[in-house]
A and B are shown apart, each in its own frame.
Chain A
């Protein structure tokens, strides 16, 4: 356990150090790369609450990732064109955007979760996919905000007191949100709520027997999980200055799951480790060969077969059970 705590600290510092080192070495692109790692890690941290702690394998979290992205894109475009949205002005301030993204994601996740949680196992995987596909096709066919072509964000949204156009400042914003989310997850995991959630994963009836309704616990976890992933989506849109339905595709849902498994399912820092490795692999292999997907496949396969428990599992030993 202490080993895992140390490893988490090392990962957090590593991710923080990367952009500063890059800046000093005159390689500004690595700042962007580190930002991408932080944002994808944040999205996966959100999913990890449902998937890792709650055992709810959602194959539809890309929908929330995309909804968060569209919250940023739509608000920013209304602010930029000075057109009111439902009688309210748009905004280019990140805190407001995150709030809206969080609210919308919660509102969408509530009915989806309420229906999906009636099922379990593979059925849950597929029903969450079904809802995400509905959202995806809606975004593709809805012409108002660009449909399949997506929506550009002309100027990256602002954060009070910071110049977000500066890559390093924007990285720090993302990093701070990631750390806040990790602290939140840590608190949740060790709370009564978290204990009930993890207990429900292992034994449904026992939890019900002590008077806790696992359905409500799971629903709450699913909604919080969607909200965190949605905020990550808003940041991702700002990183790319662009949002499109491909953020909601089932491949993206799959990629988020892959990040978690790669890092170590149910580990607090699993998504962080997974995101760092996956982005690094994609970047390094893509630069080497046009057959990069072939080699990526072999590396992922190697991790599953020979590195059980993901990166954290290999480096920090077996997970505690409790």
Chain B
């Protein structure tokens, strides 16, 4: 009797864990862990690892390496992970130019790539690939959401500004795709620029009703501090990156009240998100950023797919990924035909939480079930 029970329990356990005897999934995580961009990479890594831990899966092995924000180094690490570590899945890259260097090669060699952040337009359109899944967004999305918000709020005159590189032009184009009011200024700044006094003077003189800026990383911190100090009172808005958890502390109170758009927010009301934010705080003793949330979803999705299909069976595994049957911290999550998300975009406002820490709170919804402008060019 006892043996029968034990056998039954074993069978149950096997059934529950699905393919317990399948080979483990080897994941290569290439992300930025040194230099000025390290905060983003560290958040992405921590979010991803937390998801793997919470999933309880014992069959996922992760190797992590630092790309130092250099495309050539990222390519070399990807080659090493594919050829030497024999990984099945690559993930982790933060920056679009690194993604453009790594992703086409990796998927051409039959590996899966899951993007935790970068979403350059070619990979969503003409150069999409069956093995490339973007779990974050298409690069234009946050900016489109901001443009849409400015349009629906009826803001008459906008001043828009971004660095002079592809993600910057994509950003302003994304904004203009949905904003149809008057542009009293459209400025491209130098990449890596740290002093914005000249641009702020232009903003002051422009007579704009609101300012939209996309300045990732240290550039955004510098802009916001200088903007607040300049005493120009025109309200600012930006994509969620500009007011993400990783930079809010450095901007300080100058960020209070700023509107920004993202597909996730720490106060997003669903059980998985509550679990994530709590677990992240306990594990790392800080609030998660957008990058951490997106990487957490990537990890959860990967664990869910690995439980359903063997990664060596590429077609089955791809189908499992595409089905996206996992609990997302963003509530609902689906893949479009080009393997980019169909998701909602929110307008957030920077506030202080009960402990006096700066964070974001959702104040409106900009898009529901939004896709991207390039899906039609993707032949999948």
State the A residues within 8 Å of B (CB).
27-30, 32-33, 36, 137, 140-141, 143, 146-150, 152, 154, 236, 240-242, 244, 246-247, 251, 282-283, 286-287, 290-293
**Listed residue (B79, B80, B127) with the most chain A CB atoms within 10 angstroms of its CB:** B79
Decide: A286 and B104 in contact? CB cutoff 8 A: no
Assuming A143-B169, A148-B166, A282-B73, what are 16 further A-B pairs, CB within 8 angstroms?
A: A28-B84, A30-B84, A32-B76, A32-B83, A141-B165, A146-B100, A148-B165, A148-B167, A148-B191, A150-B97, A150-B101, A240-B71, A244-B97, A246-B70, A287-B65, A293-B34
Interface flags for B48-67 (1: CB within 8 Å of A; 0: not) read 00000000000000001110
User: Do the beta carbons of B101 and A147 come within 8 Å of each other?
Assistant: no
B193 CB to closest chain A CB (Å) equals 12
In the A-B complex, the 7 residue pairs with the closest CB atoms: A148-B165, A29-B83, A29-B84, A290-B33, A149-B166, A242-B101, A240-B75
Contact of B104 among A33, A152, A236, A291 (CB under 8 A): A152
B167 contacts which chain A residues (CB < 8 A)?
148-149
Nearest CB in chain A to that of B64: its residue? A290
- The chain B residue sitting closest to A286, CB to CB, is B65
* B48 CB, nearest partner CB in chain A, Å: 15
A152 to B104, CA, bound (A): 8
CB distance from A83 to the nearest CB of B (A): 14
Chain B residues within an 8 Å CB radius of A27: 83-84
Which residues on the A side are within 8 Å of B270 (C-beta)?
none
Q: Is the CB of A240 within 8 A of B72?
A: yes
Within the assembled complex, what's the spacing in Å between the Cα atoms of A287 and B84? Answer: 12
List residues of chain B with CB within 8 A of the CB of A137: 190
* A293 touching B68 in the complex, CB below 8 Å, given contacts A146-B100, A150-B97, A242-B105: yes
Minimal Cβ-Cβ distance residue in A for B164: A141
Name B101's contact: one of A30, A244, A291 (CB within 8 Å). A244
Residues of chain B contacted by A32 (CB below 8 angstroms): 76, 79-80, 83
Q: How far is the CB of A140 from chain B (nearest CB, A)?
A: 6
Given A32-B79, A150-B97; A242-B71 close (CB under 8 Å)? yes
Interchain nearest-CB distance for A35 vs B (Å): 10
Determine whether the beta carbon of B191 is less than 8 Å from that of A140: yes
Interface size band for B: 20 to 34
Give A292 to B323 CA distance when docked, in angstroms: 39
Give A128 to B66 CA distance when docked, in angstroms.
30
Nearest to B191 among chain A residues (CB) is A140
- B92 adjacent to chain A (CB < 8 Å): no
What are 9 contact pairs spanning A and B, CB under 8 A? A28-B83, A137-B190, A140-B165, A140-B191, A149-B100, A149-B167, A236-B72, A246-B70, A246-B71
Interface string of B157-174 (1 = CB under 8 A from A): 000000011110100000
Distance in Å: Cβ of B39 to nearest Cβ of chain A? 13
Give the chain A neighbours of B127 by CB distance below 8 A: 152
Q: Are A140 and B164 in contact (CB under 8 A)?
A: yes
A149: chain B residues within 8 A (beta carbon): 96-97, 100, 120, 165-167
Given contacts A29-B80, A246-B71, contact A152 B66 (CB under 8 A): no
B77: interface (CB < 8 Å): yes
When chains A and B are docked, how far (Å) is the Cα of A198 from the Cα of B131? 55
Asked if A246 meets B72 with Cβ closer than 8 Å, knowing A149-B120, A290-B34, the reply is yes
**Nearest CB of chain A from residue B299's CB, rounded to whole Å:** 19
Determine the chain A residues whose CB is within 8 A of the CB of B80 once the complex forms. 29, 32-33, 283, 287
CA distance A110 to B73 in the complex (A): 31
Does B105 contact A241, Cβ atoms closer than 8 Å? Answer: yes
| Closest Cβ–Cβ distance, residue A159 to chain B (whole Å) | 19
Chain B residues near A30: list those with CB within 8 A: 84
Interface of A is mostly: helix
| Chain B window 75-110, contacts with chain A (Cβ cutoff 8 Å), 1 for yes, 0 for no | 111011011100000000000110011001100000
Residues of B within 8 A of A236 (CB): 72
Q: In the complex, which residue of chain B has the Cβ closest to the Cβ of A236?
A: B72
Task: Please measure, in the bound complex, the distance between the C-alpha atom of A29 and the C-alpha atom of B109, giving whole angstroms.
Answer: 14
Q: Which residue of A lies closest to B163 (CB)?
A: A148
- Residues of B near A148 (CB, < 8 A) are 97, 165-167, 191
Query: With the chains together, A149 CA to B120 CA distance in Å?
Result: 9
Question: A286 and B101: CB pair below 8 A?
Answer: no
Residues in B whose Cβ lies below 8 Å from that of A143: 166, 169
User: Of B75, B82, B190, which is in contact with the most chain A CB atoms at under 10 Å from its CB?
Assistant: B75
- B152-206 with Cβ < 8 A to chain A: 164-167, 169, 190-191
Please indicate the chain A residues that have their CB under 8 angstroms from the CB of B169 in the complex: 143
**Complex contacts, B75 vs chain A, CB 8 Å:** 240-242
Tell me, rounded to whole Å, the shortest Cβ–Cβ distance linking B117 to chain A: 14
* Chain A residues, CB < 8 A from B66: 286, 290, 292
Minimal Cβ-Cβ distance residue in B for A156: B105
What chain B residues lie within 8 Å of A147 (beta carbons)? 165-166
**Assembly CA distance A171 to B147 (angstroms):** 49
Contact B71 A152 (CB under 8 A): no
Complex CA gap A28/B86 in Å reads 11
- Chain A residues with Cβ below 8 Å from B79 are 29, 32
Q: Once bound together, how far apart are the Cα atoms of A285 and B190, in whole Å? A: 33
B31 to chain A: closest residue by CB: A290
Closest chain A CB from B143 CB (angstroms)? 16
The winner among B34, B68, B97, B105 for most chain A CB atoms within 10 A is B97
Question: Of B33, B64, B100, which is within 8 A of A152 by CB?
Answer: B100
Complex CA gap A27/B80 in Å reads 10
A283 to B77 alpha-carbon distance, docked (Å): 8
Interface centre among B34, B64, B73, B101 (most CB of A within 10 A): B101
Q: Are B97 and A241 in touch, CB under 8 angstroms?
A: no
For the complex formed, measure the closest distance between the CB of A285 and the CB atoms of chain B, giving whole angstroms: 10
How far is B164's CA from A242's CA once the two chains are assembled, in angstroms? 21
**Closest chain A residue to B75 by CB distance?**
A240
Q: With A and B bound together, what is the CA distance between A199 and B125 in angstroms? A: 58
A148, B79: Cα distance in complex, Å? 22
Contact at B72–A247, with CB atoms within 8 Å? Answer: yes
Q: Which residues of chain B are within 8 angstroms of A292 by Cβ–Cβ distance? A: 34, 66
Residues of chain B with a CB closer than 8 A to A287's CB: 65, 80
Per the bound structure, the CA–CA distance linking A286 and B77 in Å amounts to 9
CB neighbours of B33 from chain A (8 A): 290
Asked if A154 contacts B100 (CB within 8 A), the reply is no
